[in-house]
Amino acid sequence: MRSHVLIIAALGLLIPFSGPLLGQRGGAAPQPQADPAADSIRMLVGRLDLEKYKATIKGLTQFGDRREGTDRNRAAIDWIEAQLKSYGCPTERLRYTYQPAGRGNATTQAAAGRAGQPGQAAGQAAPAGPAGQAPAAGSTDAQAARGAARGTGATATTAAPAGTARGQTATGGGRNRGIRTPTGVNNDPSKQPDAVLRALNTQPSTPGPREEVYCTKVGTSRPDEMYIVGAHMDGHGWGEAANDDGSGTALVMELARVFSSPDVQTDRTIRFALWNNEETGTNGSRAYAEQRGPLQGKEDPPGSGRYPEPKWLGMIQHDMMLFDHGMPRADGTMSKEQRPEADVNIEFQVNSKFAAQSQALAWVLAQANERYATDYPATIGSHMTNTDSGPFQDLVAAISVRENERGTQIGSGWDPQWHQPTDVYATYSDADFRLGLNAAQTTLSALGQLAGITLRK
């Protein structure tokens, strides 16, 4: 096997990378060569398990759609934290206040922790109408996607008639790709046929205090430098939010489990964050960036070797990981099976201040996928939008990993479960869950290189 060195100048990192280059999947097997780092990463990837991943998603669905501002959302946060602690990953919570426009103060207060400073949150909007009614213009539900796009140079991807040019980015990268079907947020409880689930999701969201949980793997030689790995745990639509974003939340939790194993150490710190309030406009991740950003790299107390907020090196978001069945047919129906050419989409935002660094980070994941993922390849796109990496994209290298291109595919109806009552665990097959597992393999192996893993004997 010939050794290659991947030099990521934009990231300021030199990453040893030996093995086949992109495009060699399925080719003639090269002669094996000793590579301790690669062997360690491969062992970690092997600790990811399809059944454990499915079980974590299933565990999240016991809380219904986990809509923010509800008891079921708060119960889900408690459950997530308990799981992270059971892995040996020490947890913390970030607190803030969500106050949508039209209900008093229209500012999200970064209320707790050491920052405690008000910050304008993206996607603030008037509250949704009563259950069973379509959201009014300007409502939280109708503007959730638009709010997440603020600052990204991307347009909204809310409901529109079939055949309209939807999901196009302001950079001109969005393209009309085949058949389009209407998308939007279901607010009609009667469309959920499961009476138990319908009752579970009945409590409406109310404004006020919010929390989100994260846990941290502290680096050994560079604890002052950190990669953030995230997914949002809230959902809506009167389903179980199994894919959006139980699939991403479970992925991040599984990575936390593997990296927290007693025999695993990393040179750099990794933080595993489960954001809240994504569906209202990435308010939770934005509150984190506003509160924690100014604390980066500050040793506290001085001389302790402890860095409550290490310097950010990159942010990797995971949002909707399971469903890549292709575009809708002419009659609007979808294939029931995962398409053979399904892939893991890695996106950065070409308009962002850190576009070059983000693209370099995306390529690190693509190379890791080529070497370590078992089933599905990765593709890279330049129009990341509408997810929790948005608040970070002008602060650090930031990418999004997901099932489809966000603007031109998900926004065009490629996932008919998106924000619908059908986004339940039973909708998905093992082929779907395996796509999410391959995304986990991709991120885990990339982080193994970036953070510098060592397996202690």
Sign of the C-alpha dihedral, residues 69, 74, 76, 82?
A: positive
- Residue 107: predicted pLDDT: 37
- Residue 315: predicted pLDDT: 98
- Residue 80: predicted pLDDT: 99
- Residue 101: predicted pLDDT: 80
> What are the backbone angles phi and psi of residue 271, rounded to the nearest 5°?
-115, 130
Q: Are 121 and 108 in contact (CB under 8 A)?
A: yes
Give CA 340 to chain center in angstroms: 24
- Residue 31: predicted pLDDT: 55
SS3 labels along the chain: CCEEEEEEHHHCEEEEEECCCCCCCCCCCCCCCCCHHHHHHHHHHHCCCHHHHHHHHHHHHCCCCCCCCCHHHHHHHHHHHHHHHHCCCCEEEEEEEECCCCCCCCCEECCCCCCCCEECCCCCCECCCCCCCCCCCCEHHHHHHHHHHCCCCECCCCCCCCCCCCCCECCCCCCCCCCCCCCCCCCCHHHCCCHHHHHHCCCCCCCEEEEEEEEEECCCCEEEEEEEEEEECCCCCCCCCHHHHHHHHHHHHHHHHHHCCCCEEECEEEEEEEECCCCCCCHHHHHHHHHHHHHCCCCCCCCCCCCCCCEEEEEEEECCCCCCCCCCCCCCCCCCCCCCCCCEEEECECCCCCHHHHHHHHHHHHHHHHHHCCCCCEEEECECCCCCCHHHCCCCCEEEEECCCCCCCHHHCCCCCCCCCCCCHHHCCHHHHHHHHHHHHHHHHHHHHHHCEEECC
Could you give the CA distance from residue 169 to residue 152 in angstroms, rounded to a whole number? 9
Q: What is the dihedral of CA 399, 405, 410, 413, to 10 degrees?
A: 180
Q: Which residues contact 340 (CB under 8 A, 6 or more apart)?
A: none
Residue by residue, pLDDT tens for the chain (457 residues) are: 333 344 344 455 434 443 333 334 444 545 556 678 899 999 999 999 999 999 999 999 999 999 999 999 999 999 999 999 999 999 999 999 999 986 544 333 433 333 333 333 333 333 333 333 333 333 333 333 333 333 333 323 333 222 222 233 333 334 444 566 677 899 999 999 999 999 999 999 999 999 999 999 999 999 999 999 999 999 999 999 999 999 999 999 999 999 999 999 999 999 999 999 999 999 999 999 999 999 999 999 999 999 999 999 999 999 999 999 999 999 889 999 999 999 999 999 999 999 999 999 999 999 999 999 999 999 999 999 999 999 999 999 999 999 999 888 998 899 999 999 999 999 999 999 999 999 999 999 999 999 999 998 8
Domain 36-455, CATH class in plain words: alpha beta
Q: Which residues contact 98 (CB under 8 A, 6 or more apart)?
A: 68, 69, 108, 121, 207, 208, 210, 277, 280, 283
- Where are the domains positioned within the chain? 36-455
Q: Are 282 and 226 in contact (CB under 8 A)?
A: no
Could you give the CA distance from residue 208 to residue 97 in angstroms, rounded to a whole number? 5
**Beta strand 264-266 pairing with 453-455:** antiparallel
Q: Are 364 and 442 in contact (CB under 8 A)?
A: no
Q: Are 98 and 69 in contact (CB under 8 A)?
A: yes
- Residue 164: predicted pLDDT: 28
130-150 as b/e: b if 16+ CB within 10 A: eeeebbeeebbbbbbbbbbbb
Q: Which single residue is written with the structure tokens 């506290």?
A: 300
Could you give the CA distance from residue 448 to residue 439 in angstroms, rounded to a whole number? 14
- Residue 419: predicted pLDDT: 97
